[in-house]
Amino acid sequence: MHPFVLERPRDLSAALSFGAQAGRNDAPVEYIAGGTDMVQLLQEYVRRPDRLVSLAGVLDDGIEIGPQGLRLGAAATMAEVAAHQAVVEHFPLISQALLNSASPQVRNQATMGGNLLQRTRCPYFRDVGYEACNKRVPGSGCAALDGENRWHAVLGTSDDCIAVHPSDLAVALVALDASVELRGTGGDRSVPLSDLHRLPRDTPHLEAVLEPGEVITAITVPATAAGLRSHYLKVRDRASFEFAVVSAAVAIETDGARIRQARVALGGVGTKPWRLPNVETALAGADFEPAVLRQAAALAAEGTRGRGHNDFKIELMQRAIVRAVEIAGARA
Amino acid sequence: MSDSQGTSTASSDITRRELMQAAAVIGGAVLGEQLVPGAISPALAQAAGAATAPLDVSLRINGTEHRLSLDPRTTLLDALREHLHLTGSKKGCGLGQCGACTVLMDGMRVKACLSLAALAQGRDIKTIEGLAQGEELHPLQASFIERDAFQCGYCTSGQIMAGVACISEGHAGSPQEIREWMSGNLCRCGAYDHIVAAIQDAAAVSSSTQEG
C-alpha cells in the first residue's frame, strides 16, 4: 500500500472537515467505512490516497420504517439490512439483492454508503499492470474497448469507458425510486439514486456527484415502493459470491391478471444502475402473456452497444426482464 | 549451525519465522519489479517502503488486550500473524476472496485481510486460537477431524471460523443452505462435501445442546 495518514475523527463534522473526495480516483484524501473494497484497492495500488478518513462510529447505522418509507443509515451493514424484518416484509427486493451480493463475511463488514460507492470490477481498472484505464489514469485510454470485454457494459458506455457499475443493491434501489441523503460542510442535500452516479462520457474518473467532503449519510426509499410484488434475478458465472453478468430488479403492481404499474432496472449491463422507463411504460396494462412480455422487454435493447465479447448481454438482459416479471407476478 | 546435540550457536539464533519474513520481503520486492512491468514505479516502490508514523493500537484478541504500535497500513490479519504471532488465521489471497483469514468480530464473521487493524480497536476479536476450551475442542473442530474435512489444511481455520458463525446464525439447516452461506470460503483441495458434513454434524450437536 501507498503510505497514508489514518484519521479517526470523533464525530461527523470533524470527518467532513478533511475534504475527502469519494467517487473519483485521483483524490488525495478519501473516506474508509467498512473497507471491504477500499482495502483491496489500497493493496493493489489502484488507490493511493495520502490520507484516509475513517467513518467508523460517526455515521448513523439505524434502519427505520415509517409513514414516509424506509430509511437506511449509511453505516448499516449489508447483513443487517438484508435480515431486517421490515426490509424483508415491505421491501424484499432490497433484501434479495443484498443476499445475492458478496459473501457472508463481506456483508457483515460492508456498509450501505460504501456499497453504492464501490468501484467497478473491470479487470483493467483493478490491475495497475495495464497502463490504459481512463478511470484510473485519466487520458491513458481504455484497454477494455478491444480487450476481454465479456463482463463490460452495453448501456451508458462511451469511447473512453465501458466499465460496469457492480452494485446489486443500487439496482434494486434505483427501481424503488430511492434517494441518498448527503452531508457536507455546506449542509445537507438529497439526490435521487439515479443521479448519484455519473455517466462515464469523457471523464470516467469522476464516478459520483459528491462534492469534496460530502458523505452519504442515509438512503431513503419512499413508502409508495412498499409492498409491491418484486423479484431480483441475478445471472452469474457461479451460483454464489459472484458479480452479475446480468441482473434484473422488477417490482410490479397488479390489477387482476394485468400489470398496472412496473418498475424495471438492470445490473451488469450499465455503466451505472440502469432504470428502463420505456420498458416500464410498455408493461403498464400488459397481461402476463409471454409474447407481450417479450415485446416490452425488447425495448431494453434501445441504445445498447456491444463490444464483441459482451454482445450476448443484449439478448440475455431481455430474457432476464421477462423471467423476473413472471416470477414477481407469480408471487402471492 | 546446530551441532549433533541440538544446541545452537549464536549465529543460528534466527528463527524459521524471521527467515521466512526476510525471504518474503526480498521475494516481494523482486516480484514487484519483474512480474508486473510498469505497474509500480521506482518512486512508488520507494514511497511504499517509506515509514509512516506508527499508531498506538489496542486490540482485544481472544479476551486478551494487546497494545501495539502499528503502521496505519497494517491489516488486522497482518497484526495477528506478524505482530502477535497468532498464525492460525491464514493469508491466502489477501483480497477478501478466499476466506482463509476469517475471524469473528463482535461475534460476526469477517475477513481480517480487509480490515485495517487500527479500525478494529475496541472490537472483540476471536481467532481459531481462541475457539477451544483448554484441551476441549470446539464441536466444529472435533467434527472437522471426525469427517476428515480437509486435505492440505490451509483453508481450515477460516472454514471453521466461518462454519461456527454459519451455525450460530442459523444458516446450517440443509446442505444447500450451508453451501450458500459458506460461499465466502474457498478450498482448493475440494474438500467441500466433507466440510458440509462436518458443519451439519456440529449444528446437530449445537441444537441438541440448546434443546437439552
Residues of B in contact with A104 (CB under 8 A): 109, 162, 165-166, 169, 171, 181-184
A2, A41 contact by CB (below 8 A): no
pLDDT tens for B156-167 read 999 999 999 999
CA distances from A150 to A77, A268, A309 (A): 30, 11, 4
Look at residues B167, B160, B166, B196 and name the one whose alpha carbon lies nearest to residue B179. B196
Residues of A in contact with B181 (CB under 8 A): 104
Q: Is the pLDDT of residue B108 over 90?
A: yes
What confidence category does residue B210 fall into, taking pLDDT thresholds of 50, 70 and 90?
A: low
Whether B50 and chain A come into contact, CB under 8 Å, resolves to yes
Whether B111 and chain A come into contact, CB under 8 Å, resolves to yes
pLDDT tens for B47-94 read 544 557 899 999 999 999 999 999 999 999 999 999 999 999 999 999
Inter-chain CB proximity B95 and A43 less than 8 Å: yes
Phi then psi dihedrals of residue A193, to 5 deg: -60, -30
Q: Is the pLDDT of residue B5 over 90?
A: no
Tell me the ipTM for this assembly: 0.96
Whether B24 and chain A come into contact, CB under 8 Å, resolves to no
Q: Is the pLDDT of residue B104 over 90?
A: yes
Inter-chain CB proximity A106 and B114 less than 8 Å: yes
* d(CA A266, nearest CA chain B) in Å: 23
Q: pLDDT tens string for chain A (332 positions)?
A: 999 999 999 999 999 999 999 888 889 999 999 999 999 999 999 999 999 999 999 999 999 999 999 999 999 999 999 999 999 999 999 999 999 999 999 999 999 999 999 999 999 999 999 999 999 999 999 999 999 999 999 999 999 999 999 999 999 999 999 999 999 999 999 999 999 999 999 999 999 999 999 999 999 999 999 999 999 999 999 999 999 999 999 999 999 899 999 999 999 999 999 999 999 999 999 999 999 999 999 999 999 999 999 999 999 999 999 999 999 999 86
Q: Is the pLDDT of residue B16 over 60?
A: no
Inter-chain CB proximity B73 and A102 less than 8 Å: no
Whether B31 and chain A come into contact, CB under 8 Å, resolves to no
Residues in A lying within 8 Å of B, measured between beta carbons: 1-6, 8, 32, 35-36, 39-40, 42-45, 48, 52, 54, 56, 79, 102-106, 108-109, 127-129, 131, 239-241
A118, A37 contact by CB (below 8 A): yes
Inter-chain CB proximity A109 and B110 less than 8 Å: yes
Q: Is the pLDDT of residue B43 over 60?
A: no
Q: Is the pLDDT of residue B32 over 70?
A: no
A135, A127 contact by CB (below 8 A): no
Q: Is the pLDDT of residue B17 over 90?
A: no
Nearest-CB residue to B48 (from A2, A104, A241): A2
Inter-chain CB proximity B47 and A3 less than 8 Å: yes
Whether B181 and chain A come into contact, CB under 8 Å, resolves to yes
What confidence category does residue B20 fall into, taking pLDDT thresholds of 50, 70 and 90?
A: very low
CA distances from A324 to A209, A224, A247, A248, A264 (A): 31, 20, 9, 7, 9
Percentage helix, strand, coil for chain B under 3-state DSSP, each rounded to 5: 45, 15, 40
What confidence category does residue B150 fall into, taking pLDDT thresholds of 50, 70 and 90?
A: very high
Whether B54 and chain A come into contact, CB under 8 Å, resolves to no
Predicted pLDDT at A307: 98
Predicted pLDDT at A23: 81
What confidence category does residue B37 fall into, taking pLDDT thresholds of 50, 70 and 90?
A: very low
Mutation to test the A interface, candidates B35, B40, B46, B116, most A Cβ within 10 Å: B116
Copy the grid coordinates of residue A18: 478533511
CA distances from A120 to A101, A113, A188 (A): 14, 15, 27
Predicted pLDDT at A160: 98
Predicted pLDDT at B206: 83
Inter-chain CB proximity B111 and A32 less than 8 Å: no
What confidence category does residue B13 fall into, taking pLDDT thresholds of 50, 70 and 90?
A: very low
Nearest-CB residue to A43 (from B53, B94, B102): B94
Specify the amino acid at residue B197. Answer: A
CA distances from A101 to A88, A237, B181 (A): 16, 13, 12
Predicted pLDDT at B51: 52
Inter-chain CB proximity B39 and A5 less than 8 Å: no
